[in-house]
Amino acid sequence: MNAVPADFTAASLQAGSPSPLGATWTGDGVNFAVCAGGASRVELCLFDENGERELARLPLPERTENCWHGFLPAPHGIPGVVYGFRVHGPYDPSYGLRHNPHKLLLDPYARALVGKFEWNPAVFGHQPDQPTEQLNTADSAPYVYKARVVQSGFAWSEDCPPAVPWRDTVIYELHVKGFTKLHPAVPERERGKFLGLAQPAVVNYLKQLGVTAVQLLPVQAFVPEQFLAERGLTNYWGYSSLAWFAPHPEYGIEDPVAEFRTMVKTLHAAGIEVILDVVFNHTVEGNEKGPTLSLRGLDNAAYYKLDSNNLSRYVDRTGTGNTIAIGNAAARKLIIDCLRYWVEEMHVDGFRFDLAAVLGRDNAPFRTDAAFFKAVAAEPTLRYVKLIAEPWDVGPEGYQLGRFPAGWSEWNDLYRDSVRGFWRGNPGILGNFAERFAGSSDLFRASGRRPTASINYIACHDGFTAYDATAYEQKHNEANLEDNHDGHNHNLSWNCGVEGPSDDPAVIELRERQIRNLLATLLLSQGVPMLLAGDEFGRTQRGNNNAYCQDNEISWLDWHDAERRGWLTAFVRQLLTLRRYAAGLRRDTFLKGARQVDREHKDISWRHPEGHELTAADWHDANARAIGVLIGHAFTDPYGTPNGHLLFLCNAGDQPVNFRLPTPTTGVVWRIVFDTARWRVSDLGDRMGAGESCVVAPHSCVLLADGDAPSSVRSGFSLKT
């Protein structure tokens, strides 16, 4: 990093260029450009290297339409310069205007942040606890982040995106801090940091587990909401964004930008993609009572949806107080530029869009052909990255699962609910379970999309972990200090007879079995599986299903659990190995229940315990708790010819079920690959022929392979950890 000049008294600005936006080092100076429609003057404010003292205010000399710009030549304009903006203009909230030069504004294009944020009355554009029409003239600069000019160079050398096809993708959702904060093999200094994820022990763990992509909870710079700070809590998850281009400072040690790039490069070398959970639906500035930190002071009406009946109020389709005005060109450009930056400069491989229904709303109801989706499709940089939608928001008609454009995949919460509901024994759910297991064609086929449009999961950051779904029937969010009113009540969980921790061996064994059932179903289903970090060893959040504000042991992964439950991690690892072997579990097209020429069985068929395919009456039997899935053409021989079958037998009831087995191919016997009720048996050794029965214990599932399956599959899962 270049040394920042201590004296800016001789500094002056030249005209500069309106493009690119932000602060750009050109080799002989820094070009500053910022959009501020409605402003009468914009000042560039320069600070010392720590962002503590304001050293100069230089009016940007030129305006091109809504863009203000100026060029600061070297030696004053160099990488490392710390800056912010002050915007002069009308302050009239009744017209949606909130300019206030007493508020230091963060550049929306800031690549790196300096200093810290403090909730002080000075950060509000209006007088706190007074009507919002009253201007607050206190200077906010001592209490807010500043931006630092960044030089774009980095030694990427041979970095190459893994470019894993969707059909082969296994996503692992993790929190940068929580994943390594307690990891014993990570040096203390790097725990909870970007560099912690680049440690060899961490990378090897991910690679050996078999995941192909890490999906990081928000790493765009964020600050906790005021109500959390007042309670001594924080926004641990990070869904309170402030600066979309800047890596969160607390995840860095000395240089978060370089350290993020190092993390990406290291994961890429191991064949692991990096997907970012991005928050483009709202910001931490909140509603009309919130602070003025960046977009609000630059051009409030251009960046936020305002209530057309009262322009001093905000439209809230996010539950956070404000909503980004994606229908406005300025907001869309900011987001597209940001996505391009993270791909081109930071080498990320994809994005998961939080509350993505907001992005399809323009100024009207949700549309598949909304302007933002068209802009993404038209951007060459984004053509080959993974795009994942959380397909809902909290506005009217906010649930849009299955309606996103071609090229997008979507979080499928119906998958989670159907699988959890089946394994807890809900009545009348066989049809839903089968539809989700087979790839959710009812949601995606009609629009010409593929099974890989469905991101399947049984647990994510929001809600119960997989273990907690077997240990709690009620949420226990008391630590959030909201009287346990926060978080949803639709958990579809079953505590196996005891609420919370238990020393009863029978309860413990049943919970372990249920976790195996859930994970086995997830990793054998069509679509793209997503694992929540720690579910592979039974991580718990102590029944908290909304741990967004818990930056502590409730949320951090306990790696002692990984040691204690190594058998479960081994089970997941072997499931993922099986998934790689079995091309029939990773299809690009939907299953049709059709019989191929010269094949004994269909590509998929649904089996009654008595051996026949399910009839209409069977599907509507509310008392049915058992189903068999015969997956045809699960493997391919060395010549690429489909062969081999898998038979997945599920019993969610409380009594054993005898499943009569179909005829295996080539007359060779069926072999048990795993049985979740007999996991501690060292050698299953079961071989069964056509017409024989396989006993499936209560609350368990069994996977069998026939003679054409690879020998490594037919030999069954090992107990070795």
Q: Give SS3 for 169.
A: coil
Measured CA to CA, the distance from residue 209 to residue 214 in angstroms comes to 12
Measured CA to CA, the distance from residue 20 to residue 24 in angstroms comes to 7
pLDDT of 597 higher than 80: no
Least confident of 169-178, 501-510, 680-689: 680-689
User: pLDDT value at position 611?
Assistant: 93
User: pLDDT value at position 663?
Assistant: 77
Least confident of 83-92, 584-593, 632-641, 700-709: 632-641
Q: How many CA atoms lie within 13 A of 176 on its CB side?
A: 29
User: pLDDT value at position 295?
Assistant: 98
pLDDT of 690 higher than 80: no
More confident call, 667 vs 94: 94
Contacts of 196 (CB under 8 A, 6+ apart): 176, 179, 180, 183, 186, 190, 202
Residue numbers annotated as active site: 354, 390
Measured CA to CA, the distance from residue 412 to residue 420 in angstroms comes to 13
Q: Percent of the chain beyond pLDDT 90?
A: 86
Q: Give SS3 for 45.
A: strand
Tokens of 205: 């763990």
User: pLDDT value at position 412?
Assistant: 98
User: pLDDT value at position 595?
Assistant: 63
pLDDT of 651 higher than 80: yes
Structural domains of the chain, ranges and CATH numbers in brackets = 22-148 (2.60.40.10), 167-583 (3.20.20.80), 588-714 (2.60.40.1180)
Q: What is the mean pLDDT of residues 304-321?
A: 96
Quick: pLDDT tens for 399-423: 999 999 999 999 999 999 999 999 9
Q: What is the mean pLDDT of residues 586-603?
A: 75
DSSP H or E segment with residue 569? helix 566-581
Contacts of 512 (CB under 8 A, 6+ apart): 538, 568, 679
Measured CA to CA, the distance from residue 360 to residue 281 in angstroms comes to 11
pLDDT of 682 higher than 50: no
Written in H, E and C, the secondary structure of 275-298 is: EEEECCCCCCCCCCCCCCCCHHHH
Least confident of 73-87, 263-277, 592-606: 592-606
Q: Percent of the chain beyond pLDDT 70?
A: 93
pTM of the predicted model, to two decimals? 0.96
User: pLDDT value at position 685?
Assistant: 53
User: pLDDT value at position 548?
Assistant: 98
User: pLDDT value at position 11?
Assistant: 85
Burial bucket for residue 698 (CB in 10 Å: 0-12, 13-18, 19+): middle
User: pLDDT value at position 666?
Assistant: 59
Q: What is the mean pLDDT of residues 264-275?
A: 98
User: pLDDT value at position 128?
Assistant: 86
Q: What is the mean pLDDT of residues 176-194?
A: 98
pLDDT of 286 higher than 70: yes
Quick: pLDDT tens for 334-349: 999 999 999 999 999 9
Please, which residues bridge with residue 629 across strands? 606, 648
Quick: pLDDT tens for 219-249: 999 999 999 999 999 999 999 999 999 999 9
User: pLDDT value at position 709?
Assistant: 66
Tokens 């240990």 label which residue? Answer: 471
494-533 burial, b if ≥16 CB within 10 A, otherwise e?
bbbebeeebeeeebeebbbbbbbbbbbbbbbbbbbbbbbb
